[in-house]
Amino acid sequence: MKIGPYRLANRVVLAPMAGITDAPFRTLCRQFGAALTPSEMVSANALLFGSVKTRRRLVDPSEPEPRVVQISGADPEQMARAAQQNVDLGAQIIDINMGCPAKKVCNKMAGSALLKDEPRVVKILGAVVAAVAVPVTLKIRTGWDLQHRNAVRIARIAEDAGIHCLVVHGRTRACGYRSPAEYQTIASVKNVLQIPVIANGDISNAGQALDVLRKTGADGVMIGRASLGKPWIFRSIVAGLGNDNSSSEPSLRQQQYIVLQHLQAMYAHYGEAHGVRVARKHLAAYCRGLPRAADFRRQVYTLIDANAQQAFVREYYERLQRLPGVLQAA
């Protein structure tokens, strides 16, 4: 699969997730095989004010290529300026968010709210594509609600505007994340486009990825919430799509190493105090499905010191490795 001049290593990419896909997590997912690791969604308006929080969400020129920044907004001129600014800072692909269902985003007529305003979609896509010399991609949902599924019309608008790749989440904005994803609309989108289409929604293993690719004819899959606490999911899915079933869940010792390395990266990125706080949600996800997870989560939220947090994580995994019947250390 190619996006502009970039040939991707495989067909499995990370979904941009606010508060999750920061630089440390993107780096980890890339190490495990994610072909693309977009930034968290950056508000075009906030970017122009240059807050510390916003600057942390931007890509760094040292990150692996191609570097992708996702921007969100409702004003075509602001979106064009935000795209230009990100390219100047090292972005090699600009992704436009028209899929976020969050109320605080939709109330500003951004994210998936834009699906209700097709003329504005034309203006935003045209302005951003004209503003930068790098590929521009777009992420959408199937529509605003079940009665207004307009993904096919938006897809045609996107291709006509010069968008290089389209990601479709298989739910409407009204569905949020509650109902099961549906893939027929994604298949309909793929049938009318020449540009690559990536399917997103309810994909958490290689079997589901293969099933979605068959149902939709999509060129690739995007993994979101299933990667939180399991960044190694990309290795597993990439292997499965290549008919290689040898990739297995990391042992507890390997997971311990991965988590501790992730903690160090977060402390370096955010500073120790803020890094400890950001790490809590990742640690709560890492222990899903493991023994004594509830106790682990309860205690980890009480720790305010990086050394104490690391020591607690190390002790937890070492205790698990001594339990019978769990993933043994390799």
pLDDT of residue 57: 72
Start-end of H helices in the chain: 23-31, 44-49, 52-56, 76-88, 103-106, 118-131, 151-161, 184-192, 206-216, 233-241, 252-270, 272-286, 293-300, 306-321
pLDDT of residue 49: 54
Q: 12-14 and 220-223: which strand pairing?
A: parallel
Q: What is the mean pLDDT of residues 29-46?
A: 92
Per residue in 117-167, pLDDT (tens digit) is: 999 999 999 999 999 999 999 999 999 988 889 999 999 999 999 999 999
- Give the residue carrying structure tokens 């977009």: 38
Q: What is the mean pLDDT of residues 239-260?
A: 89
pLDDT of residue 330: 40
Per the rule left: phi > 0, alpha: psi between -120 and 50, beta: everything else, 71 is: beta
Per residue in 201-219, pLDDT (tens digit) is: 999 999 999 999 999 999 9
Bridge partners of residue 265, in order along the sequence? none
Question: d(Cα 51, Cα 207) in Å, to the nearest integer?
Answer: 42
pLDDT of residue 46: 66
Question: Model confidence at 179, in pLDDT bands (50, 70, 90)?
Answer: confident
Enumerate the active-site residues: 100
Residue 327 has pLDDT above 70, yes or no: no
Please calculate the CA angle 256-259-265 and round it to the nearest 5 degrees.
Answer: 140
**pTM to 2 decimal places:** 0.93
Residue 172 has pLDDT above 90, yes or no: yes
Q: What is the mean pLDDT of residues 46-55?
A: 64
Question: Cα 173 vs. chain centroid, distance in angstroms?
Answer: 17
Residue of higher predicted confidence among 328 and 3: 3
Q: Which two tokens stand for residue 169?
A: 């989440």
Domains in the chain, CATH or no CATH each:
2-241 (3.20.20.70), 252-321 (1.10.1200)
Residue 264 has pLDDT above 80, yes or no: yes
Residue of higher predicted confidence among 255 and 106: 255
Per residue in 60-96, pLDDT (tens digit) is: 778 889 999 999 999 999 999 999 999 998 999 999 9
Per residue in 265-323, pLDDT (tens digit) is: 999 999 999 999 999 999 999 999 999 999 999 999 999 999 999 999 999 999 999 88
Kindly state the DSSP code that residue 181 receives in the 8-state scheme: P
- Name residues whose C-beta falls within 8 Å of residue 194's C-beta, 6 or more positions apart in sequence: 159
- Considering only CA atoms, which of 119, 40, 139 is closest in space to residue 76? 119
Give buried/exposed letters for 26-39 (b at 16+ CB in 10 A, else e). bbbbbbbbbbbbbb
